[in-house]
Amino acid sequence: MPPDRRSGRCGPGAGADEPPKLGIFSARFAIGRSDADSHFRDTTMDIPTLAARDVRRALEEDLGTGDLTAALIDPQAMAQATVRTREAARLCGAPWAQACLHALDPAARMDWKAPEGAELPADFVFLELRANARALLSAERTMLNFLQLLSAVATQTAQYVEAVRGTRAQIVDTRKTLPGLRLAQKYAVRVGGGMNHRIGLFDAVLIKENHIAAAGGIAPALERARRVAAQAQFIEIEVETLEQLDEALRADARMILLDNMPLERLREAVALTGDRAVLEVSGGVDLDSVRAIAETGVDRISVGRLTKDVRAVDLSLRFAAE
């Protein structure tokens, strides 16, 4: 039975204290879902555990043997602070911010004025804090780094998702992530309404031009992939021409990546494929072109810019009188 090319979207999370429901982490992250096709099985992770791991590494990098400047402050002093937006953004990173401050002051109070995934206007106070002054000063930069980065990824993803609204296309991320923060950035993509592609080289197969050449062709490459990677979440093969697409379909490819094809060629590819395979587009996708690509009828559009070309959201943390 051919795969159903229609699949649902994953929306943003429900709240800052309850991040998007991605379940308990095993070896993989959530990768998307189609009820009719096991290639899109959901895998899940424990977000607080991931956040604590990332934060531990970040604090070790920043604090080293101790915060020399914070040592000027009375160790018993308490402080209040607010965090506000300086520009409109989709909020993301609450679990990382919480892990950061609570690592230095487990009794710190964090009062979130907006849930994870909320669309925030500029000049909006979305977080009020009360904590040990030294802890808050030491955590400030690392906490903001996570909030600014992950909110930027979620915000940019949401823009792409909105651009293709009303089409069947899903916006999908790539492996073009910051080293060491891949899972955090892929979480942010989900908060932005996008979908996750493979997490790494271990969980799915993407057969590209050089793999095809080394294996002796499209059909042999697919056949070998099915033998050696039966545990893979999915097997996808890249094609550059309609002739290669037809060859992949005849070899029973279930997911096909159309690389750098012009719009007219994409429409022809969709017509040729019908419902026999999931079609994904990659290469040169930006906000100016993504709508036209989606309107060709493809199923997925992978966008490296979601996690690679990211400008941090402008946030400000300010102390208030205690």
227: CB partners within 8 A, 6+ apart? none
State whether the Cα torsion 208-278-290-88 is positive or negative: negative
Q: Which residues of 197-220 are buried (b: 16+ CB within 10 A; e: fewer)?
A: bbbeeebbbbbeeebbeebeebbe
> Which two three-digit tokens encode residue 204?
């799915």
Catalytically annotated residue among 86, 141, 165, 226: 141
DSSP reduced 3-state for 63? helix
Catalytically annotated residue among 238, 247, 280, 299: 238
Note if 259 is an active site residue. yes
CA separation for the pair 6, 45 (Å, rounded) = 25
Note if 33 is an active site residue. no
CA separation for the pair 22, 30 (Å, rounded) = 7
DSSP string, 90-144: E---HHHHHHHHHHH-TT-EEEESS-TT-EE-TT-EEEEEEEEHHHHHHHHHHHH
Q: Terminus-to-terminus CA distance in the chain, angstroms?
A: 66
Which phi and psi (to 5°) does residue 131 adopt? -160, 170
Catalytically annotated residue among 113, 130, 168, 176: 176
CA separation for the pair 144, 315 (Å, rounded) = 7
Note if 21 is an active site residue. no
Catalytically annotated residue among 62, 67, 223, 259: 259
Catalytically annotated residue among 6, 86, 109, 208: 208
Half-sphere exposure of 33 (CA within 13 A, CB side): 12
**Burial class, 296, CB count within 10 angstroms (exposed 0-12 / middle 13-18 / buried 19+):** buried
CA separation for the pair 30, 74 (Å, rounded) = 45
Beta-bridge partner residues of 238:
257
Specify the residue for token string 């609450």: 94
Q: Which residues are catalytic?
A: 141, 176, 208, 238, 259
